[in-house]
Every structure is written in structure tokens, then in C-alpha cells.
Structure 1
Amino acid sequence: MMPGQIAAADGKNVLSISAGIIKSLWVPGSFVDVDDAKDAMCAVEEISGGTPMPMLSEMTDVEISAGARYEFAQAKGVLAIAVLGSSTVDRVIAAAMKRHTHYPHEFFTSRDAALAWLDQFTATGSQQGGHSDGLSALA
């Protein structure tokens, strides 16, 4: 593991910070349960020093329990989240996670597009914008 990274969820998740954005990488093929989600959110608090930040979450081919989706949606440590995936299943899981979020939440298949969207929530970004419905990026 590289310096500045934190492992969570029994190694299924690795977090780091770059350019004011928390990057969360989930191991493809992982199953994420409530305990994994809670552990990952504790790691977010640790790596961010308790300051809410935007997050890029790579969740390609990751199965997430309903309880874990709810846990992620209640997160207080993120300003906005861009979920990066590659399949229709990833897109459906991201849409299901959106139901209970209290922060901007979008799904992307392009890392560059996801980072560009998140930049508006960083200290150097405008802090404005995003899709109020959280689903516009799905279209």
C-alpha cells in the first residue's frame, strides 16, 4: 500500500486523497455488507481528518447489500459523490444508492467526466452546480 492510502472493509476498499477529492477504489467482484460500509465510512473520516470532501468511488462489478447502500447514503463525510462504473448493473446499483442520499450523487462511466463534475465541490471549484435530481447523468 502506498503512503497516504487507507485500507478498509477487510482490504476490499482503498482510499486516498488527490487534488481535494477522496478516491475510493473497491476491489472488483467484492460483496459489500453493512459492516464493510461502516468501516469504509470510518476510513473516510480518518483520511479526510473529519472535513467533508467530494469523493470518487470506483465500484465496478461490486455487489452492495441494501443495508450497505443505506449506510453509504447516510454518510456525513462527503460533500458529493461520483460513482464510477462500467456496466448497466453498476448504473442500477448507483441509482438505488441515490434514493436516500443527502448530498449530490451522480453515476459516470468516464473518470475524466466524474472528476470534472467533482471539481465544482473542491476548494478550487465553484462549490455550485450538480444535478438536483441526481439522475441526470444517468440519461
Structure 2
Amino acid sequence: MMPGHITAAHGKNVLSVSAGIITSVWQPGSVVDVHDAKEAMRAVEQITGGTPMPMLSEMTDVEISAAARYEFAQTAGVLAIAVLGSSTVDRVVAAAMKRHTRYPHEFFTSRDDAMAWLNNFAAGGGSRPEGYPDGISALT
């Protein structure tokens, strides 16, 4: 694992790792295409040393192409992802990303709730926690 942080996607994305959780912060107003997604996933692999970990992805006011959403969903670099957003549009984008994921994927408007959910995975449990009222599963 690399210390510090990594910038990816031409500066649109900053990644770091703390307490076994990857934090990925996308610059508000960014438009993310498939090349940005691939670069971000390479950065995840680099910062984690190839060991899959849970991820908090802050994606407030970020537009993500369909090809980028598919690319993110195919990654093997994360154990689970909590998407942190603040609007209905953010929630819809997160729901669209969830369609093809191979890992637990939930939307939150509270950083504390997202981190509590991710800590279940960071602790090595790897199982899907139940009863997260702010998650997308409540919508589907």
C-alpha cells in the first residue's frame, strides 16, 4: 500500500487509504468518461498494492458516462463501495452504477453512516450488512 494520496483522471479524482478503507473524492462538476474510470481503477490498484478494500466514493454533482459506469462496476479492486452524495441526481447516478456491480454497493447522504457500513468490510467480515436505511437497497 502506498502512503499519502494519488491523483487520477487528469486531476478529477483524488484517492487515499486510511484504516483499511479507500477514499475516492471526485471533483464536483466533473464529467467522467471511460478513460477516467480506467485511470481511477489503475490508481486504486496502485494505492492498495492490489489488495481489494472497501471504498468510500464521494461523487457529488458528478456526471458519469454509461461506459464509465460499466468500467467501475467490473473492477475487482474493491470489496464494497459506499457512494456519498447529496442530491436525488447523485442517488440516481449511484443506482445506475449498481446495476452491474459484483460487490456490495450502497448510496449514502451521511459520511458517518457510509463509514459505519464500510467498517463491516474493513474488519474482514466481508459479509453484506443488514439494515442500512440510507442505502439504495431500500429503493430496489
Q: Considering the TM-score relative to the shorter chain, is it more than 0.5?
A: yes
Q: Which residue does the alignment assign to 1:99?
A: 99
Q: Which residue does the alignment assign to 1:53?
A: 53
CA distance in 2, matches of 1:135, 1:113: 13
The one-letter code matched in structure 2 to 1:136 is S
Cα deviation, 1:103-130, whole Å, max 9, x if unaligned, reads 00000000000000000101x3533233
Q: Which residue does the alignment assign to 1:128?
A: 127
CA distance in 2, matches of 1:66, 1:13: 18
CA distance in 2, matches of 1:11, 1:138: 33
Cα deviation, 1:4-32, whole Å, max 9, x if unaligned, reads 10000000000000111000000000000
Identity of aligned residues (%): 76
| Alpha-carbon contact 1:107-1:138 (below 8 Å) kept | no
The one-letter code matched in structure 1 to 2:115 is L
User: Gaps (5+ residues) in structure 2?
Assistant: none
User: What is the number of equivalent residue pairs in this alignment?
Assistant: 134
Q: Which residue does the alignment assign to 2:18?
A: 18
TM-score normalised over the length of structure 2: 0.91
| Alpha-carbon contact 1:104-1:130 (below 8 Å) kept | no
1:138 Cα deviation from its structure 2 partner? 4.6
CA distance in 2, matches of 1:120, 1:114: 10
1:102 Cα deviation from its structure 2 partner? 0.4
TM-score normalised over the length of structure 1: 0.91
